Amino acid sequence: MIGLVQRVSSASVTVDGCVVGAIERGILVLAAVEPADTDAQVERMAERLLGYRIFPDAAGKMNRSVQEIDGGVLLVPQFTLAADTTRGMRPSFTSAAPPALGEALFDRLVRAVRRRYACETGQPTIETGRFGADMKVALVNDGPVTFWLRAG
């Protein structure tokens, strides 16, 4: 499982002209599922996403997680992250999970993040894109700060 994590001031995803998910300060995660991924990778990715320290502490060092700042999480399925781009001029998607497995594990990732997120201020903002849809993603990348995570 791959997660492209971006620290954002705000982010949203739109499908057919309607906003289906939006957050303020937090992380935007573009998530890709690979064929060999299992629930173990889903749980590890959820743990890493919520615990990865990419927000500044009082001294300005990246030392706080999205949970520690009570930030939002916007999870967007993005199978193209799993593309094989090593040959030619056109990506191959044989390294991405088939749609049924991709959707099932993406949904499990969303549930795992919701289950694991402990928020000091009540209910955390956890939003999603829509699997298989033509999505328009808007974001204000804070920093910019972007990390490519693997859970394997």
| Among 55, 79, 106, 128, the one annotated catalytic | 79
- 78 is an active site residue: yes
Q: Give the active site residue among 67, 78, 106, 128.
A: 78
Known catalytic residue at 128 = no
Q: Can you give the three-state secondary structure of the chain, one letter per residue?
A: CEEEEEEEEEEEEEECCEEEEEECCEEEEEEECCCCCCHHHHHHHHHHHHHCCCEECCCCCEEECCCCCCCEEEEEECHHHHCECCCCCCCECCCCCCHHHHHHHHHHHHHHHHHHCCCCCCCCCEEECCCCCCEEEEEEEEEEEEEEEECC
Q: Does the annotation count 55 as an active-site position? A: no
Catalytic hit among 80, 85, 93, 147: 80
Residues with catalytic roles: 78-80
